[in-house]
Structure 1
Amino acid sequence: MDAAVRLHNLTVNFDDRFTLNDIHWTLEPNQHWVITGTNGSGKSALAAVLAGVGKIEAGDVLGLPKKVGLVSFEAQAELIAQELKKDDADIMDVISVGTPVHEMIFEYCVDTELARDLVEKFGLTGLLDRAFRKLSTGETRKVMLIRALANEPDLLILDEPFDGLDAATLTMLQNHLAGLVTTTPMVLVLNRFDEMPDFITHVAYMSEGRLAHAIDKQDPHAYQELYQLLHLKTTHLNIPPADNSNALPTLDPKHPLVKLHQATIKYGDTIIVDKLDWTIEQGQHWQLSGPNGSGKTGVLSLITGDHPQCYTNDIFVFGFQRGNGESIWQIKQFIGYVSTSLQWEYRVSTSCRNVILSGFYDSIGMYSKANDNQKKIANEWLALLGMTQRADQPFNKLSYGDQRLLLIARAMVKHPPLLILDEPCLGLDDINRQLVLALIEKICQGKQTTVLYVNHHAEDQIAGIENYLGLVKNS
């Protein structure tokens, strides 16, 4: 590839099944990219565009090389479908046995010596006379890899090339690709960051058909953020357990967590919230939205007991009727709370691990000795956040977004029945916002804590939150 490939303001349709939107991307000849993202984000579609696949509806693709080597599940399926067509008895006098493997490889490739070497390394020598369509999925994948590698492409595109390979074969392929670094630009589509070869120079992150981030891998800050985002989006780790030695009292599952009946907040003649009826059942995640002045914070204060008018309203929380002698701490033990103001208050010089541990004691900073199980749980939260290597770093030296992630983990460490996240993305840049939203999605998947997510914008939705309450500002 002698010149840069440029995708400018590009919209591409793939048979009305998927659309890439407004793609701006430049690949220089000396760069090697990984495209990553969650399932359905458009990773494979973006890679396919470089091979000329898809219908361009807007924008331009400039500088595509003439010879592109593409290996993907879609291309694999298409090749097998072509072979199966040879079985059509209506157009053939004899039953086809299909194209043999040696023909699929050696009549296609340019470098036959390399092809023979790869056939041996991939363990296909004994299969050269077998019909291509009789191979297993993994074996057909190896044939396609050999074809692409031995055809001396100007640009090599490999979509999940390491899937299904044993450890030895995976290492062999990675070593071979490393040997192409100086001659062949490469684009790899990968779900897992831990499979990323060392020679990769840049990373593209796809989200909902758009190129959300394109970073230089040598930028440690940007790379760390993107690593955490992908880790939270795709990891199979579950929400860490609670500490059984410090378990919260069990709530009656027949009672809602919160029930507001005709709740009203007013100051003099000014009514902020007027006769609000709202019930939050256990396991029922909610999004509370509304403009400034609509009463979002006031409603939260009614629930937590921090609003003076909570005792003049008909409010039921965690089995308690407000005003019947319960203490504020009896209520707050069941609530995890994260807000920008809490982050402003949390200015003590302590480690990331201790911030999470402080959630067991509802303290700002650590003034008690954590037990071994609590330390284990804190380490599991750090692993979930992709921050294991930063466990002993000072909290106040972290980025604003990383601090927010740790404070959410702190609020969650006791598995409160209700987690209130008050404008958790306020003040965050785009990638840190996505990190926080990904963590909230993870918590919703855990099904042990009910999430109440508070924000300004109703359209800023989170997977797993299916209930919505919108407040309006009274004139």
Structure 2
Amino acid sequence: MDSRICLENFSVNFDERFHLNNIDWTIEPSQHWVITGTNGSGKSALAAVLAGVGEMESGQISGLPSRVGLVSFEAQAELIAKELKKDDADIMDVIAIGTPVQEMIFENCADPELAAELVEKFGLSHLLDRAFRKLSTGETRKVMLIRALSSKPDLLILDEPFDGLDADTLAMLQQHLASIIDTTPMVMVLNRFDEMPSFITHVAYLEKDGHDGGKLAFKVDRKDESAFAELYQLLHLKTTDLQVPETDPASKLPALDPQQPLVKLTDATIKYDDTVIVDKLNWTIEPGKHWQLSGPNGSGKTGVLSLITGDHPQCYVNDIFVFGFQRGNGESIWQIKQFIGYVSTSLQWEYRVSVSCKNVIISGFYDSIGMYTKSTDSQKKIADEWLALLGMSDRADQPFNKLSYGDQRLLLIARAMVKHPPLLILDEPCLGLDDMNRQLVLALIEKICAGKETTVLYVNHHAEDQIAGIENYLALQKNA
């Protein structure tokens, strides 16, 4: 590849089934990229664009090479489908045996010598006379790889090339790919970061954009260690099978009546002298029904939250039912607060003590800022599980105040969650975060929403800033 490939504000559709939107991406001749992201975000679609697939809707694309070596499940399925069509010959009383592997590999081969070498290395010599369509999925994959590698491509596109390969074949393929990095630019699609070859120079991360679209969210140079680590953490949170850890049996909260709402505000009003901030708000939060509370500054978001937590002086003059208590009937504020996990920017400002990441999480069992009590083995185990979920196991002993702002926010959410509170209030959890760290926090909130014990109340300015799993919305308006 002698020139760069450049996509500028490029949008493309694939048979109206899927769209990639507003892609800006440049691939220099010396670069080797991995495309990664969540399921359904368009990883394979973006790779296919480089092979000329898809119908351009807008923008520009330039520098696409004429010789592209492509290995993908879609291309593999297409090749097999062509072979199966040869069964149509049955109507002429001819038994179709299909194209033999030898012909599939060596016909129109640009480098027969390399192809023969790879046939030997891939262990396909004894299959050369067999019909291609009679091969196993793994054997078909090897044929596809040999065809692509021996085509003298200007660009090599490998979509999940390591899937289905045994350990010896995987090692051999990685070694061969490493041997051609000076002559052949590569773009790989990988779901797993731990499969990424050491010669990869850049990473493109895609996210879903609507129900049938994807967008290129981040482009990271592998030399940028902090950005690369954040991207690894984001992919881990988005794709890991790890679930929200269980709570410590010794710290389990009293059971609530599942038939009762967590919170019920009836004609709730907040006013100062003649100024009405919140006017006759009726709002019920049922268990398992996650909410997003939004509104501009001055619309009363913080006031409504403090009515729920019991911190507002007007909570006793309002009709408020929380966690089985009718406010003003002699309950203490701590009877209310034990059922609430709370994370806000102000809490992060207060949490300036120099304790380890692990102990920050454990402190959630004691509702303390810092650790002043000896933790139990069970609490330590749960903290380790949270660190694993966050992709921060290697930072268990690092001081909290030495972490990035985004990682601190993740740990404080884990701290709020260790007791599995019935209600988790996240007050502007993305405030002050850059886009990557914002995505990390949102990914963690999605994980929590997918659980069953904690109901999430997500508070922010923007109603359009939506999170998967949150389907109930309350937008407050600022009174004139």
What TM-score, normalized by structure 1, do the two folds share?
Answer: 0.97
2:469 alignment partner AA: G
Whether 2:419 is the aligned partner of 1:446: answer no
**What residue is the counterpart of 1:393 in the other structure?**
398
Conserved? CA contact 2:11–2:22, under 8 Å: yes
**What residue is the counterpart of 1:107 in the other structure?**
107
Whether 2:254 is the aligned partner of 1:273: answer no
More displaced 10-residue stretch of structure 1: 136-145 or 85-94? 85-94
Cα distance in structure 2, aligned partners of 1:301 and 1:123: 69
**What residue is the counterpart of 1:289 in the other structure?**
294
Cα distance in structure 2, aligned partners of 1:114 and 1:392: 51
Cα distance in structure 1, aligned partners of 2:108 and 2:396: 52
**What residue is the counterpart of 2:307 in the other structure?**
302
The 5 A counterparts of 1:63-462 are 63-89=63-89, 92=92, 94-208=94-208, 209-462=214-467
1:452 alignment partner AA: L
Cα displacement (A) at 1:298: 0.9
Cα distance in structure 2, aligned partners of 1:250 and 1:78: 56
Q: Compute the RMSD of aligned alpha carbons.
A: 1.4
**What residue is the counterpart of 1:4 in the other structure?**
4
Cα distance in structure 1, aligned partners of 2:433 and 2:106: 54
Cα distance in structure 2, aligned partners of 1:163 and 1:108: 27
Cα distance in structure 1, aligned partners of 2:345 and 2:475: 21
Cα displacement (A) at 1:322: 0.8
Cα displacement (A) at 1:419: 0.5
Cα displacement (A) at 1:50: 0.8
Cα distance in structure 1, aligned partners of 2:422 and 2:301: 20
2:259 alignment partner AA: K
Cα deviations across residues 372-395 of structure 1 (Å, max 9, x unaligned)?
111111111111111111111111
Cα displacement (A) at 1:462: 0.5
Cα distance in structure 2, aligned partners of 1:329 and 1:173: 61
Conserved? CA contact 1:108–1:147, under 8 Å: no
Aligned residue pairs, count:
475
Cα distance in structure 2, aligned partners of 1:338 and 1:165: 45
Conserved? CA contact 2:246–2:382, under 8 Å: yes
2:106 alignment partner AA: F
**Structure 1 consecutive aligned stretches of length 4 or more whose deviation exceeds 3 Å:** 89-93
SS in 2 for 1:350: coil
> Structure 1 pair 130/260, CA: closer, same or farther in 2 (3 Å)?
same
Cα displacement (A) at 1:275: 1.4
Cα displacement (A) at 1:238: 1.0
Q: Which runs of 5+ in 1 are unaligned?
A: none
2:352 alignment partner AA: R
1:128 alignment partner AA: L
Cα distance in structure 2, aligned partners of 1:420 and 1:90: 67
Cα displacement (A) at 1:112: 2.2
Q: Which runs of 5+ in 2 are unaligned?
A: 209-213
More displaced 10-residue stretch of structure 1: 88-97 or 124-133? 88-97
Cα distance in structure 2, aligned partners of 1:350 and 1:263: 40
Cα displacement (A) at 1:184: 0.9
SS in 1 for 2:306: helix
Conserved? CA contact 1:351–1:392, under 8 Å: yes
More displaced 10-residue stretch of structure 1: 332-341 or 129-138? 129-138
Cα deviations across residues 240-299 of structure 1 (Å, max 9, x unaligned)?
110112211111111111111111111122211111111111111111111111111111
Conserved? CA contact 2:90–2:96, under 8 Å: no
Conserved? CA contact 1:419–1:449, under 8 Å: yes
Cα displacement (A) at 1:84: 1.8
What TM-score, normalized by structure 2, do the two folds share?
Answer: 0.96
Cα displacement (A) at 1:91: 7.3
SS in 1 for 2:254: coil
**What residue is the counterpart of 1:19 in the other structure?**
19
Conserved? CA contact 2:417–2:424, under 8 Å: yes
**What residue is the counterpart of 2:211 in the other structure?**
none
SS in 1 for 2:69: strand
1:432 alignment partner AA: N
Cα displacement (A) at 1:89: 4.5
Identity %: 80
SS in 2 for 1:88: helix
